[in-house]
Structure 1
Amino acid sequence: MSTLRALAKAQALTAGRAQPVATVRHVHLVERPLVLVPLALAGEANAPLAVLVGAAPDEGRLLVVPQPRNRDQRFAFAAELAGIVLEYLDGFRSVTEAVPVDRGRDVRHRYADAPQLLVPSPAGVTFLRLFGRSTRFRRTDGEYPVHPSVPLLGRWLTFFAERAEHPGSSALLAMTDALTLHWATGQSAVEDLHLPALLGWVDPPPGLTGAQAAARAEDPSVCPPAGPATDPDFDNQVLAPAMTAYAEAGDDEVARAGAYAELERLLRDQLAPTWELMWRGVGLLRSLPAGARVGGRWDGDKDAFTAHAEHVDAGGGPQPRRDGAVAAAQRLHRLERAAASYAVQRAYDDPLVMAEHRLTGEAFVGEVILADPKRVDDSGKRPVLRPRIQVVTTEPVAVPVGATLWSTARPAQKARVVFLTPGDGKTEVVLELSGGMGRGLTAAPGSVPEVGERLCLTTLSEAYLPVATFPAVEETPWTHGGRPAGMDPA
């Protein structure tokens, strides 16, 4: 936990309300996200019990599995859910956009927008990942066939679960993660995983403090669990008798319909409060302006959606159960690069996030007191424009002479530290600028900071991170998937 977040949590406890730790929204929100609130049967491995799903507050549709241990009912539920999810996905495949590549010499096409799934908590993401794994390899013919939409649903749920692991992706969001990214509460990180308690701090009801609203949310009779786990008392005293009544109805259609209606009522009562909280959370997130770089990260989600849709349309196979050694290393490398880029982008977008880096010495804010925008360095083979500025700051400067800094206002411009002069409570820093000023020996207007301008300078860079190279599978040792020397490929 960072120093500023710890301070914000202490302030939230004192004020009785969650405190903002972001000034902008760092996640993308589509106009019509698909909200899923799943429930699983206790004591069974990823056995779906019910889900409330829809793309608008008044469009929630309840799907129920009366006997989750019954294989036919589970895959009938999967087929019904597939009808909703796949129809939602198809709604994003009608419009494409051209994207310039190769410095504008060519274009490629991708879908103009992408779908977005929202679940209450990380446990909901895990539920979708496991449900995708249990359905994407199912056969549509032969013994125990399933509806053709079931394996397709599994492949798409696996796609979204994998995107959820990608730092900065908004394709599949857990509402608790999205809210805690922007607000700090007065409770522990574990308690923040409970959506009703979290929203009790972020948006407490009138007359209640955040602590009081969170304590009220801990009562399952007032605020049912946000799933996929259910309350044990509800399981034993309410759900079990209702499921028994359905099983005992047998072939009696009237009794069976009545028992099913009772199950629907009970499960809707459990899911409806969380459904309302999900849309309250969406409204709170929409109240924040989107960060400047959120759209660029969403473009990455659109690219991933387009690529997977094309793979499916071309008859490509489902995702493997396990990645090979090379594929796993490549995936880890992509995630590491994305995590580094995401951290820098959040800091550049948000002064509150950058403040954490200022505390660690990775950034400082100062005022320009001198500027020489016409300075030319002619010590090399040809003269080059190298303006210098002098910045004074009252913050600690932990970078050495020769270090390269970047300004959040001009991220394409490098600033090399030439001199450091510590003083009485302040430090003067002389910087030599390069890049982002045009190609001539005269700086473009506004490209060089002027006297009086306040700058935030940081060691964090948005510069392109090169992609590592990995060996082909056949070039790796047999312990990592390669073929032993001399072995017949057959």
Structure 2
Amino acid sequence: MSLLTTLARLEAVRSGRAQPLATVRHRHLSDRPMVVVPLTAAGEDGAPLAAMLGTDRDAPRLHVVAQPLDRDQRFAFLAALAADLLPYLEGYGDDIEQIESTERDPQTGERTPVLRELCADAPQLIVPNGGGIHQLGLLGRSTRFRRTADDADAGPYPVPTKVPLLGRWLTHLRERSEVPGSSLLLAMTALLGRHWATGQSHLEDQHLGAQLAWIAPPPGLSGAEAALHAETARDRRGQLLCPPAGPATDPRFDEKLLGPAVTRHDAARAALRAAPEGDARAERHVRSTAEEVRTLLAGVLRPTWDQVWQGIDLLRTLPPADHLPERWESDRWSYTGHRERLAAGEPPQPRYDDAVTAARKLAQREREQAKVELQEALDDPLAMAECRLAGEAFAGTVVHTEPAYDTSGRSPKPRPLVTVRTDDRPHADPGREVHRAWGAPRPDGGGSATPQKAEIVRFDPADGTVVLRLTSGMGRRREPEPGTVPQPGERVCFTLFELTVRQSAPLPDPEDTPWTHGGPPGTAAAPRPAAAAWADDEEGE
């Protein structure tokens, strides 16, 4: 936790209301997000219980497993879920953009222009909290390898055709959610936590109702009072007025309501099996007990459903950050690539990555993390304030400029000296390179800002002045282009970190994986953790 976040949490405790951590929205929000609220059976992490989903806040759709331990009911639930989700996930592939890029010829090394197809938009799933992301990942892991009735070796328990396809999509979304800055699959608690600091711990922020209570408390209540009410208030039956966001249910709800209802449903199914064929009364009893379970679960899920949409409304009050389109384009490429792999008939994602693939994923996530932190600092003064508090940046007002030149080369180069007065305390050692973050214009006068480098000449903590020598971003002429040198009275900000993310070192091709990392794929089976065996098959159920 950064110093600024700690201060914001302390201020939230003092004021009784959550404090902003951002002035702009740092994650993409779709115009038509798919909200998914999953629920699992207590003690059975891999047994889905219900899911409420939809793109219309006033018309959620509910899918329920009346008996989570019944294989047939689970597969029927997954088939219904696939029929609901897949049209949304696949519906963004019709609108295509042609993007021109270059590819390097592996033989000659020459670059040739090529046209690539990119989906103009992509789907977005929003779940209540991190547990919801984990649950969707489990569903994807346990279904993408399932055999269907169309397979030659279907086995004794084939699943509907759409179920493995849904598993592949959920697996892709789960993996993409681990890339910093990605917005294909988001947890509402993480979204709100990035933009507001509450007066409670990060663990307590995983309760969506309590987190929203701090951000928008009811009239007459402080954030702490509203959060306590959201976490503990119960009705006359002893049930929570604000059920947890899941995916687990409240133990008292399981004991008093859900457990007895499932028992009655099991008894009705047993009576139907013992009754003569076509017994209408027994069939009605099974349907009524199943509807009882459905009604109970709908009552538990609906408050969380409304809270997710409340969070979306709060986030939409913030203007989008400048770098959001760039990160969303990366998500669109990821979505497009997965569609192409499905269309090409490639096999499902493997259970375990080979060494090169794992290293590439790790390098990508490290690179994206650095990029997100950099872009957020450039987009948001509050994010930049964290860098300034850490001594990695400083902002101030220009008080003096002095022309100077580098005469060591064939022709003199402009190297003006700029004196900045700041209240910050940067790690400004003489000779250290800094980068201008605010107010760096292009020398040609058009487009967005160009990176401008400078070198620290002197820093005087007594009067808070930093003397800088500009070394780039002033054009190619003997005199700096107009507007490229900050003038007295101008507000500027310089960072002690680069404004571009460096690429990681290249990795070998998978077939060239050294033997120290398992050898080429397929030469040796990777050891399989026993804890993951449940995802391979369900024959032991």
**Into which bin does the TM-score normalised by the smaller protein fall?**
over 0.9
Matched residues in 2 for 1:35 and 1:255: separation? Answer: 33
Does 1:480 pair with 2:517? yes
Partner SS, residue 243 of structure 2? coil
Contact 2:415 2:469 in 1 (8 A): no
Report if the CA contact (8 A) 1:217-1:223 is conserved.
Answer: yes
The answer for the alignment partner of 1:186 in structure 2 is 199
Q: Secondary structure at the match of 1:447?
A: coil
- Choose which of 321, 324, 328 in structure 2 pairs with 1:291: 321
Segment of structure 1 superposing worse, 405-414 or 224-233: 405-414
Which deviates more, 457-466 or 142-151? Answer: 457-466
CA shift, 1:355, in A, is 0.8
TM-score (norm 1): 0.94
Matched, 1:56 2:72: no
Aligned partners of 1:43 and 1:449: how far apart in 2? 63
Residue type of the partner of 1:249? A
The offset of 1:24, in angstroms, is 0.7
Secondary structure in 1 aligned to 2:471? strand
Unaligned runs of 5+ in 2: 103-110, 233-238, 273-281, 441-448, 525-541
Shift of 1:448: 2.7
Q: How far did residue 97 of structure 1 move?
A: 1.7
How many residue pairs match? The answer is: 484
| Structure 2 match to 1:406 | 435
Q: Cα 1:381–1:147, aligned 2, differ >3 Å: closer, same or farther?
A: farther
Instruction: Within 5 Å, give how 1:192-231 maps onto structure 2.
Output: 192-219=205-232, 221-231=240-250
Distance in 2 (alpha carbons) for counterparts of 1:416 and 1:215: 52
Aligned AA for 2:266? Answer: A
* Residue 391 (structure 1) aligned with residue 410 (structure 2): no
Q: Distance in 2 between matches of 1:273 and 1:336?
A: 37
- State the alpha-carbon separation in 2 of the partners of residues 297 and 481 from structure 1: 34
- Alignment partner for residue 491 of structure 2, among 421, 439, 454? 454
Aligned letter for 2:227?
A: A
Name the residue aligned to 2:261.
242
Q: Tell me if 1:308 matches 2:338.
A: yes
8 Å contact from structure 1 (residues 397, 427) kept in 2 = no
Counterpart amino acid of 1:67?
Q
Q: Equivalences for 1:59-458 in 2 at 5 Å?
A: 59-102=59-102, 106-140=114-148, 141=151, 142-143=154-155, 144-219=157-232, 221-250=240-269, 251=272, 252-371=282-401, 376-409=405-438, 410=440, 412-422=450-460, 424-435=462-473, 437-458=474-495
Question: Is the alpha carbon distance of 1:79 and 1:405 closer, same or farther for their aligned partners in structure 2, counting shifts above 3 Å?
Answer: same
Counterpart code for 1:339: Q
On the 8 A contact 2:428/2:456 being kept in 1, the answer is no
What SS class does the counterpart of residue 484 from structure 2 fall into? coil
How much does 1:72 deviate? 1.4
TM-score normalised per structure 2: 0.85
| CA deviation vs aligned residue, 1:102-129 (integer Å, no higher than 9, x gap) | 4995542200111110000001010011
In the TM superposition, residue 447 of structure 1 has moved relative to its aligned partner by 2.9
Whether contact under 8 Å (2:370, 2:501) holds in the other structure is no
Distance 2:410 2:376 in 1: 40
**Per-residue deviation, residues 406-456 of structure 1 (Å, max 9, x unmatched):** 122236323322411416332232222303x44444544433322211111
Q: Aligned equivalents of 1:150 and 1:423: distance in 2?
A: 64
- Given that residues 392 and 426 in structure 1 are in contact (C-alpha distance below 8 angstroms), is that contact kept between their aligned partners in structure 2? yes
| Partner Cα separation in structure 2 for residue 445 and residue 41 of structure 1 | 67
State which drifts further: 261-270 or 91-100. Answer: 91-100
Q: Report what 2:33 is aligned to.
A: 33
C-alpha distance in 1 between matches for 2:176 and 2:478: 45
3-state SS of 1:51 partner: strand
Q: In 2, are the aligned partners of 1:388 and 1:433 still within 8 Å (CA)?
A: no
For the aligned residue pairs, the C-alpha RMSD in angstroms reads 2.1
CA shift for structure 1 position 49: 0.3
Q: Which amino acid aligns with 1:210?
A: G
| Amino acid in the other structure paired with 1:258 | S
- Per-residue CA deviations over 1:237-285 (Å, capped at 9, x if unaligned) read 1011111111111232110111111111100000000000000000000
Mapped to 1, the partners of 2:375 and 2:34 lie a distance apart of 26
Aligned structure 1 segments of 4 or more residues deviating by more than 6 angstroms: none
Offset at 1:463? 1.6
8 Å contact kept, 1:387–1:434: no
- Per-residue displacement from partner, 1:23-50 (whole Å, max 9, x unpaired)? 1111100001000001100121320000
Inter-CA distance 381–482: structure 2 relative to 1 (3 Å threshold): farther
Change (3 A) 1:308 1:381: farther
Q: CA deviation at 1:382?
A: 4.6
String of CA shifts for 1:331-375, please: whole Å, max 9, x gaps: 1111111111111111111111111111111011121123357x5
Give, in whole Å, the separation in 1 of the partners of 2:83 and 2:499. Answer: 42
Q: Residues of 1 paired with 2:466 and 2:359: CA distance?
A: 45
Distance 1:440 1:100 in 2: 33
Q: CA deviation at 1:225?
A: 1.3
Residues 1:3 and 2:3 aligned together = yes
Percent identity between the two aligned chains? 48
